[in-house]
Structure 1
Amino acid sequence: MKIISYDDLQQAEMVLSFGKQKLTVSVFMIDGLLIDTGPVKMKAKLIPLFEQWDITKVILTHHHEDHTGLAYWLQENTEFPIYIHESGIKDCENRTKLSFYRKVFWGDREPFQPIELNDTITTDNYNWDVIHTPGHAHDHVALFNQEKGWMFRGDLYIQPTPKSLFAFESVPEIITSLKKILTYDFETYICSHAGVKVRGRQAIEKKLDYLEGVQQEVQSLNNQGMTSHAIRKKLFPKSHPMHYLSFFENSPKHIVNSILK
């Protein structure tokens, strides 16, 4: 685990691996606010860090286990509140039912009881707008730091030109959410997997342009009579080890299928 400082932001970056596959995820702390808790697989390193940081409240960007894995521990061992979007509360109250590869990478997440997020939240020095931005997850939120002009966005970005999506993701919803956050005045974008991007607005605009282009191409090919399978083979012919490791829960077909729904 690597600790990175950016202004008054603390980032704990973790790399987890299974065979040759590696995944990176980060948690952030700023002005007493912990953003996400990281996966339970990193418990031995994260708990001492949480005990060291002066945390006063926690916001979870969404319910996925790499972002909420240690929320149960924080709830059992501290008294500060843990917030999530209202649509993610039931997901957190229930035990996870994860596919094999997700258990391997992140570990199971124990149930916990979060509190519903409001539209705004304050810390000692900052005001935060809470922006519902589904697409990667139904309860996904972005956090806009008004004073700094920073946008924290969980898993909305990750990479600029994705060639594959998870079965639970939606290209049209991601496009809508990208457009929504671009209505805010930010330059620095902070991603749970890609880290701090100083030219963040340009990165978001690039991803939006890419996804809109993919959406138009998929729709055009479908209007020409091509099946979703044929469109996938034409636009995304290459395979990736993650497709097989996830038993195709992660696959290019989910890009095409989400557009043609």
Structure 2
Amino acid sequence: MRNRNAVGTWVGFALIMVWCLLPVAWIISLSFKSVEETGVGSPQFLPKDPTWQNYKDIIDNPDFTAALRNSFGIALISTLLSVIFATLAAYAIARLEFRGKRLVLSLALAIAMFPVVALVGPLFDLWRTLHLFNTWPGLIIPYMSFTLPLAIWTLSAFFREIPWEMEQAAQVDGATSWQAFRKVIVPLAAPGVFTAAILTFFFAWNEFVLAISLTSTTASRTVPAQLSFFVGPDPFNPPYGQLATASVLVTIPVIVIVLLFQRRIVAGLTSGAVKG
């Protein structure tokens, strides 16, 4: 009976892996196909004549490199600012008693669940008036608005798990409240801070609606938005190979981050799940 359960588990696991990884394998295979092969109807799964030309064309494309630079810069700045503000806010929510604490958490959750599309129109008009349209701050500010609630919820769970006595012991030894927070609490909450930073970076890296709506040139357009402009010379035959190649290159940093820090991500997400 145990052997049957083990076989069924592995078969189910294999089916799920194939279902999840098949689109990824197709995109990777498509990135090695020539324009002539992708232009025909229903191309085969594996490329007939693999080529690196798509990767060379994408790397030499100034619009793609500019969008990649914008994505890195905007995502990193959004992540840094969100983590700083979320750390301070989550510490106050976890440690201090004040009126409206539940209301603050409820509003943060409501903001995180608010549809992005509903804000595009008002933000477009407001950013045009404030001269923030098609700028890095014009994307960083709304990114922070949607990533801060998730970061606050993640970090507040971590701060609740840290014993209050450790901070009091540091203050007894002569440390100020700020020193105790910076040298004792923050290092202990490092897994949660790291998890919040990774989740924030993923959102800013993959976001499309705001990036396509609040930009007009490659001066601040990120990669997800820039890929929609890869139409090629013929609008009826998009450069599928180049689109697949760009998708592969953009996905590599995310895969590397997940593989390197998957333990911290799991530790941050499961913090507070068990009481005591």
Which structure has the greater CA radius of gyration?
2
Q: Which has the higher helix share?
A: 2
Determine if the TM-score, normalized by the shorter chain, exceeds 0.5: no
Relative to the length of structure 1, the TM-score reads: 0.25
Relative to the length of structure 2, the TM-score reads: 0.24
Q: Which has the higher strand share?
A: 1
Greater RCO, 1 or 2 (C-alpha within 8 Å, sep 6+): 2
